[in-house]
Amino acid sequence: MSLIRKTAAELGALVASREVSAVEVAQAHLDRIAEVDGRVNAFLHVDAESALTQARAVDERIAAGETLGPLAGVPIAHKDVFTTTGMPTTAGSKILEGWLPPYDATVTRRLREAGLVILGKTNLDEFAMGSSTENSAYGATHNPWDLSRIPGGSSGGSSAAVSAYEAPLSTGTDTGGSIRQPAAVTGIVGMKPTYGGSSRYGLIAFASSLDTPGPFARNVLDAALLHEAFSGHDPLDSTSIDAPVPAVVEAARHADVAGMRVGVVKEFGGEGYQPGVLARFNEAVELLESLGAKVVEVSCPTFSYALPAYYLIAPSECSSNLARFDAMRYGLRVGDDGTRSAEEVMALTRAAGFGPEVKRRIMLGTYALSSGYYDAYYGQAQKVRTLIMRDFEAAFQQVDVLVSPTTPTTAFPIGERADDPMAMYLADLCTIPTNLAGNAAISVPCGLADEDGLPVGLQVMAPTLADDRCYRVGAAVEKAFESRWGGPLLSRAPAL
Amino acid sequence: MSAITRDQVAHLARLSRLALADDELDHFAAQLDQIVGAVARVAEVAADDIPPSSHALPLTNVFRPDDVRPGLTPEAALSGAPAVEDDRFRVPRILGEEE
């Protein structure tokens, strides 16, 4: 089998045993990128020279007898919202075009320490705001299953890179579903860890109370290995949880749900959901039951208010966070002709540097936080957040995990929702409650929808710091489905 | 309860330091009106006795010892600046002619 089809765990083992060099593994993926990325557009920046230098360093350390981690020498595609020294970081925005950060994000630093080989930076919706990657200032990314469709968003470059075999692993960030939704619509695994379980230091902020870095992979074990590699307490992030990383790798190796209590969220389904998505979801629930899980229906009545609450809270936080793009210290500066004031230059720069979705959200947040509207909008949304946390608490008294479809529909055509913000926002209907409550959730493939032959994701939600349960259930579902399908879902994707 | 007008968008754009073009004001007014109309549903559920949550974690202030640690060098801090003069960020004037 060619190197690009192997799992991250397999590649790590091959490099560690010196059967294959890290340089060969990196080169195979660079060749694949050169072959297909002109059509997929997953990457904003590829640095072959740097990748080969990193790979050579891993090979030298192994040759010198060092024992490295399980992912040493494994290539990774890194979402272009994490700062990286030596590589530009744009957040998909013109306002940061060509910016070279003076420091590494904690996630970046930990990837380097684990010996992962960073191939380049992946495309995203500008400042991670979107569900399709169409909001990138550098052009849309295409879904490898059907190049006329979206790869999800905001981490759509990362989902496309992994599903197109350009990298076995990638990083993402999930603020309202930006890891799980892209994973679902490209037929791969994506995990949103517990908020505070992975560091935000050096992650360009969108909504600070929600932003969570997490892994993409083509299987559950690989996702767990990457999760473990970059997670854990970080003194540089004031909301980082000072607790051990949940035993995610061990859980991914114990694909057993016998006796587990699984709750089906009653509020997710019906109108607005594609029949083929619901059919695959119902099969996944039956599968869990056949594997010995005890399935019950659970009601979370306030979940239907999560979407409106999110579209007040996230824009409010974004309007504050993006004030830092002031044209003074880094990034774009427009109109500084010696006659204009700093404030005029600032307004001209932000108008030129931000795309339409970012402008919409900044103004929406500014509105929701204005005097006279604060109580009705931002204040009410924060109360809804409390109610959603209470719904989760009550649900997790009855069950160990909750399940739902990850997204209401499969990947939609590029352009279909581009100028209809409310239609676009519906893509995150099922993923948002978990962001508001801060707990953990994973998306794993559960088949193809009959109508369009496109991938469907199963979402598994677990309590705060019980991330391991997501991996345990995800691994059990993956094992049972793959034996039924005769291999991974992704092996049924058309050749690029 | 919404009805976002063009004038309101112009006001929001000023507060947000966004120099929007005229056609953008019209476009955003229609879209923001639709979005605000949809998200106003949050008023339907949360009653007065529900405490607001700004965050999912129970947060407390985090302190570290006040030790001197290395930071960015002036060169690194200024490396992305649009304009630099004498180890400082050079910025457009911040006061009006009359001030």
Domain map (residue ranges) of chain A: 3-300+390-492
pLDDT tens, chain A, 496 aa long: 699 999 999 999 999 999 999 999 999 999 999 999 999 999 999 999 999 999 999 999 999 999 999 999 999 999 999 999 999 999 999 999 999 999 999 999 999 999 999 999 999 999 999 999 999 999 999 999 999 999 999 999 999 999 999 999 999 999 999 999 999 999 999 999 999 999 999 999 999 999 999 999 999 999 999 999 999 999 999 999 999 999 999 999 999 999 999 999 999 988 899 999 999 999 999 999 999 999 999 999 999 999 999 999 999 999 999 999 999 999 999 999 999 999 999 999 999 999 999 999 999 999 999 999 999 999 999 999 999 999 999 999 999 999 999 999 999 999 999 889 989 999 999 999 999 999 999 999 999 999 999 999 999 999 999 999 999 999 999 999 999 999 999 999 999 9
Substitution target in A380, A388, A392, A428 with the highest count of B β-carbons within 10 Å is A380
| Nearest alpha carbon to residue A153 among A368, A414, A472, A451 | A414
Burial of A46 (0-12, 13-18, 19+ CB in 10 A): buried
CA-based nearest distance B77→chain A, Å? 7
Residues in chain B: 99
CA-based nearest distance B99→chain A, Å? 12
Give, in degrees to the nearest 5, the angle at Cα A128 between A126 and A130: 85
Instruction: Please list the alpha-helical segments (H only) found in chain B.
Output: 6-15, 22-39, 74-78
Which SS3 state, helix, strand or coil, does residue A490 take? helix
β pairing state of A261-265 and A401-405: parallel
Q: Do B51 and A383 touch (CB under 8 A)?
A: yes
Substitution target in A319, A363, A428 with the highest count of B β-carbons within 10 Å is A363
Cα–Cα distance for residue pair A72/A336, rounded to 1 Å = 47
Q: Would you say the C-alpha torsion A138, A140, A142, A143 has a positive or negative sign?
A: positive
Q: Which residues pair with A295 in a beta bridge?
A: A262
CA-based nearest distance B69→chain A, Å? 13
Residues of B in contact with A319 (CB under 8 A): 16
Identify whether the C-beta of residue A228 lies closer than 8 Å to the C-beta of residue A245. yes
Q: Do A421 and B42 touch (CB under 8 A)?
A: no
Structure tokens belonging to residue A90: 């744009």
Structure tokens belonging to residue A89: 């970081």
Q: Would you say the C-alpha torsion B56, B57, B58, B59 has a positive or negative sign?
A: negative
Cα–Cα distance for residue pair A107/A118, rounded to 1 Å = 12
Cα–Cα distance for residue pair A54/A169, rounded to 1 Å = 16
Identify whether the C-beta of residue A455 lies closer than 8 Å to the C-beta of residue A184. yes
A379 vs B8, B9, B52: nearest CB: B52
Of all residues in chain B, the one with the smallest CA distance to A370 is B12
Write out the H or E segment, with its range, that includes residue A263.
Answer: strand A261-265
Burial of B88 (0-12, 13-18, 19+ CB in 10 A): exposed
Residues of B in contact with A438 (CB under 8 A): 55-57
Structure tokens belonging to residue A110: 């930990």
Write out the H or E segment, with its range, that includes residue A447.
Answer: strand A440-448
Distance, C-alpha A192 to centroid of its chain: 7
Structure tokens belonging to residue A123: 């495309």
Identify whether the C-beta of residue A372 lies closer than 8 Å to the C-beta of residue A234. no
B92 vs A340, A376, A386: nearest CB: A340
Helix %, strand %, coil % for chain B, to 5?
40, 5, 60
Q: For the domain A3-300+390-492, what is the CATH code?
A: 3.90.1300.10
Q: Do B19 and A330 touch (CB under 8 A)?
A: no
Substitution target in A367, A426, A435 with the highest count of B β-carbons within 10 Å is A367
Q: Do A238 and B62 touch (CB under 8 A)?
A: yes
Structure tokens belonging to residue A192: 């949103």
β pairing state of A440-448 and A455-462: antiparallel
Q: Average pLDDT, whole number, for chain B? A: 90
Q: Which residues pair with A214 in a beta bridge?
A: A172
Q: Do B19 and A359 touch (CB under 8 A)?
A: no
Euclidean distance between the first and the last CA atom of chain B, given in angstroms as a whole number: 42
CA-based nearest distance B32→chain A, Å? 7
Name the band, by pLDDT with cuts 50, 70 and 90, for residue B51.
Answer: very high
Q: Do A331 and B77 touch (CB under 8 A)?
A: no
- Match 């950060």 to its residue by tokens: A101
- Match 């230098």 to its residue by tokens: A53
Task: Please report the pLDDT score of residue A1 as a whole number.
Answer: 65
Task: Please report the pLDDT score of residue B1 as a whole number.
Answer: 44
Radius of gyration of chain B, Cα coordinates, nearest whole angstrom: 23
**Higher local confidence (pLDDT), A405 or B97:** A405
The residues of A that are catalytic are 79, 154, 178
Which SS3 state, helix, strand or coil, does residue A440 take? strand
Please state the ipTM of this predicted complex: 0.94
Count of A-B CB contacts under 8 Å: 176
Cα–Cα distance for residue pair A152/A386, rounded to 1 Å = 28
Q: Would you say the C-alpha torsion A61, A64, A70, A74 has a positive or negative sign?
A: positive
| Nearest alpha carbon to residue A429 among A315, A275, A268 | A268
